[in-house]
Structure 1
Amino acid sequence: MRSIGEMARDSGLGVSALRFYDRAGVLVPAWVDPVSGYRWYEPEQLEEARLLARLRRAGMPLADIRLVLASWSGADTDLVRKLLTAHLRRLERSLSDARGEFSTLRALLDHRENVMTSLHSTTVRLSVAAPELAAALDTVRFAASTDPELPMLGGVLFDIEGESLHAVATDRYRMALAQAAVAGHDGSRVQVLVPTPLADAMRALLESEGPVRLSVDGGRVTLEAGDRQAAGQCLDHAFPDYRRLLPQVAGRRTVVEVAAFRNALETGPVRFGQDGAHDLSVLRVEDGGTVTICTDADEDPNRVAVNREFLLDALTAGARDRLILEFGTPTAPIAIRRPGDEGTFSILMPVRLED
């Protein structure tokens, strides 16, 4: 006799599966200990268990498996063949149906991508104050991705709607958003993904105080400042729906003096990230609203770990003497905002600490 553990090991069926098939009347043990309830199987039942495992992996219904097992060792092999053939036909029909559904899904996805691509075919002409656009680019540039595996993040999104241009950049670990007022636009929403080198070239032209002209024609975007211009092709990728990622006002908000906070970060304790390539700063908000840099001995459950370099970049991009830090749970993003300018901010993803 084989114990249920031995049967599970040799058949490929788990102990819990063998118990289930016993209760379902599909593979009943030869003997059950009346005191312990332990199941025992005859040696020849191992072949049935292995057959059962194969049929279940093939997705055959239990009702048909009962018939196959009942006929397997007998003379009625024709019934077994008929059951196997019928199940194979069901699988083929199911696969055909699945292919049809996936074909429909691909068509829907293509339609969505075409709709997003069609935004690039719109002709746009507008003007924007050079200092405002320069400040917007300075605020978000640090968050643009440099990962060649993520080309859709390798630029700055210009999201134009109404009388505003939102500049957005993200590398998945941080995101920055800033806005500038525009004039001459009809109000419809147009999104243009400007490659990072072109965004940098545009920024180099924004040294004047007056307005500059931004135009989009098909997949080409042009910035004109006086008699100079920077122009190039937009990235032909769909940028993530950043509006779904915008942070809500967190439960803990505190104002930091940027110079003092920067010094605390640069001179305070650090922990190493799991990859060993990044320094982490572990932050804690005191009851009075002061943000402190935690030491290794500090086990406060509300502490939040962030990439120190990313946080320093965000402080620089904030370009203010004082900034607002918003903290949620230890696993929620940290938001860095400017006082009085809620539409310009950056967020940093926290880093999980390994104790």
Structure 2
Amino acid sequence: MRSIGEMARDSGLGVSALRFYDRAGVLVPAWVDPVSGYRWYEPEQLEEARLLARLRRAGMPLADIRLVLASWSGADTDLLRKLLEAHLRRLEQGLSEARGEFSALRALLDQRENVMTSLRTATLRLTVAAPELAAALDTVRFAASTDPELPMLGGVLFDIEGESLRVVATDRYRMAVARAGVTGHDESRVQVIVPTPLADAMRALCHGEGSVRLGLDGDHVTLEAGDGQAAGRCLDHDFPDYRRLLPRAGDRRALVDVADFRQALETGPVRRDETGTHDLSVLRVTDDGTVALCADGDDHPDRVAVNRGFLLDALAAGGRDRLVLELTAPTAPIAIRRPDDENGFSLLMPVRLED
């Protein structure tokens, strides 16, 4: 017989997915150890598991998957073909409808191009305190994307409005926002995306207690500090509207000691994501306001799974001995805030758990 780990490895279904399909009555193990609860499968169940993995990747609903598996093991090939063809028709109809919606969205984007372009064509000269800009860039740098297929995320957004400069970075799975005060600017809003290498060069100039001078002329941005200068072209893309993603205060907040929490994450229980490439930490805020790391088998409804490496990066970028973790729901982002500065925070996207 095959263990659940062997079945997961050979079928392409994760361990958590196999547990889910067991509870759903779709792929029930041949035997479950009454003491440990460990699941075991007959060798012939591997074919069903591989079929299930294909149907899952094709997005087939669970109810239809049940019928397909029942037909596969029986002699009703006509029903099996009808189920597969019906699902293919649904996918094709959905794709047709999606194309129509995207055509409408492109028309809306065309209408907005002039407005978005105006945010990137200003000319300004302003002053920023070097320590503030350094701290802001340190807070967001870890979240910048390296995906060549998403060039609009391959930099740091400088969002200037009134006497405030917000710097933002995101790779879709995490987002970091920080603020620095500026002088020499009016109330109009200006946005530019500074390429990540240029943002790093700017950060290197922000040392000491003085001020630096930030200049923007169309698509060209310059930072001057003493005799040093970092300059280059901005990215010619539109950054996502991050303001729509800004979190409200979470229902469950916990103040954590960063050093102790890091050690708990590094030595505590982890799970693997479905691809088997990332470690996940599963968290929940207890009734006494502390953060607990959930071990395998802890099915508390308020638990939230997150990429452990991303969480460790966010803790390091927080720049404080203590940080506040906010959890709202298993499907909502986790917010990591500074207790003394609401303008600097990180968001981490949750990872869905199927068990």
Q: In the TM superposition, what whole-angstrom CA distance separates every residue of 1:297-333 from its partner, at most 9, and x where no partner exists?
A: 2111111100000000000011111101101011111
Cα drift, residue 113 of structure 1: 2.0
Paired with 2:123 and 2:252, the residues of 1 have a C-alpha distance of: 44
Paired with 1:348 and 1:104, the residues of 2 have a C-alpha distance of: 31
Runs of 4+ more than 3 Å apart: 101-108
Which residue in the other structure is 2:141 paired with? Answer: 141
Which residue in the other structure is 1:305 paired with? Answer: 305
TM-score normalised by L of structure 1: 0.71
Which residue in the other structure is 1:235 paired with? Answer: 235
For structure 2, list consecutive stretches of 5 or more residues without a partner in the other structure. 1-77, 87-91, 93-98
Q: In the TM superposition, what whole-angstrom CA distance separates every residue of 1:21-73 from its partner, at most 9, and x where no partner exists?
A: xxxxxxxxxxxxxxxxxxxxxxxxxxxxxxxxxxxx9xxxxxxxxxxxxxxxx
Quick check: 1:117–1:236 contact (8 Å CA) kept in 2? no
Counterpart of 1:306 in 2: which secondary structure? strand
Which residue in the other structure is 1:165 paired with? Answer: 165
Q: CA RMSD in A?
A: 2.3
Which residue in the other structure is 1:285 paired with? Answer: 285
Cα drift, residue 114 of structure 1: 2.8
Counterpart of 1:214 in 2: which secondary structure? strand
Structure 2 letter corresponding to 1:338: R
1:1-355 counterparts in 2 under 5 A? Answer: 106=106, 108-355=108-355
Give the direction of change, closer, same or farther, for the CA distance of 1:103–1:270 in structure 2 (3 Å limit).
closer
Counterpart of 2:120 in 1: which secondary structure? helix
Count, aligned residues: 264
Structure with higher RCO (Cα < 8 A, 6+ apart): 2
Give the direction of change, closer, same or farther, for the CA distance of 1:104–1:274 in structure 2 (3 Å limit).
closer
Give the direction of change, closer, same or farther, for the CA distance of 1:303–1:194 in structure 2 (3 Å limit).
same
Structure 1 letter corresponding to 2:217: D
Quick check: 2:224–2:230 contact (8 Å CA) kept in 1? yes
Q: Which entry has the higher C-alpha Rg, 1 or 2?
A: 1
Quick check: 2:284–2:327 contact (8 Å CA) kept in 1? no
TM-score normalised by L of structure 2: 0.71
Quick check: 2:326–2:334 contact (8 Å CA) kept in 1? yes
Structure 1 letter corresponding to 2:247: P
Q: In the TM superposition, what whole-angstrom CA distance separates every residue of 1:143-173 from its partner, at most 9, and x where no partner exists?
A: 0000011111110000000100000000111
Paired with 2:104 and 2:309, the residues of 1 have a C-alpha distance of: 45
Give the direction of change, closer, same or farther, for the CA distance of 1:279–1:113 in structure 2 (3 Å limit).
same
Give the direction of change, closer, same or farther, for the CA distance of 1:305–1:102 in structure 2 (3 Å limit).
closer
Paired with 1:13 and 1:336, the residues of 2 have a C-alpha distance of: 49
